Amino acid sequence: MSATYAQIRNHCASMWEIHRSFLEQAKVSIVGTRYAALMALGAAQDFSMRYGDLEHKLGKPHKTLQNVVGELVSLGLCSMRSDENDRRFRVIALTPRGLEVLGEHVAHVAATLCAPLPAVSNGN
């Protein structure tokens, strides 16, 4: 089961809203920051945003986000390019592989939420 771009965007926007207060207030691990970055990019209209906007949205120091984005780029989940309108800014975008990973995540979450609950045994 493959998720559409609209399903991915809607899921990421929902997950961002659900986790926003936690992600903004808590000291989350680098893994959590990677997840938050993917969710923020997945919720963006064209699956991309300026580096500074991502930094502001996640509320992370520049160096931390630089490391996270570098790792996501090395994993092939994101790419970096110069902004077409202003070359001083960098744009972070999901790659086709990043969209695929988010699509798998959306499908997994949908299947998990729609799956029947396991029967509860009364111990007999």
Structural domain contains residue 32: yes
Instruction: Please state the domain count of the chain.
Output: 1
End-to-end CA distance of the chain: 38
Q: Is 0.75 surpassed by the pTM of this model? A: no
Q: State the residue range of the domain holding 24.
A: 5-105
Give the max Cα distance, the chain: 69
Tell me if 110 is assigned to some domain.
no
What is the model's pLDDT at position 106? 74
Q: Are the CB atoms for 43 and 12 separated by under 8 Å?
A: yes
Q: What pLDDT, on the 0 to 100 scale, is given for residue 67? A: 86
Mind listing the pLDDT tens digit of every residue in the chain (124 residues)?
466 777 777 777 777 665 555 555 544 555 567 777 887 787 777 888 888 888 888 777 888 888 888 888 888 888 998 888 888 888 888 899 888 888 887 777 777 766 554 544 455 5
Domain assignment of residue 38, yes or no = yes
Number of Cβ within 10 Å of residue 26's Cβ equals 10
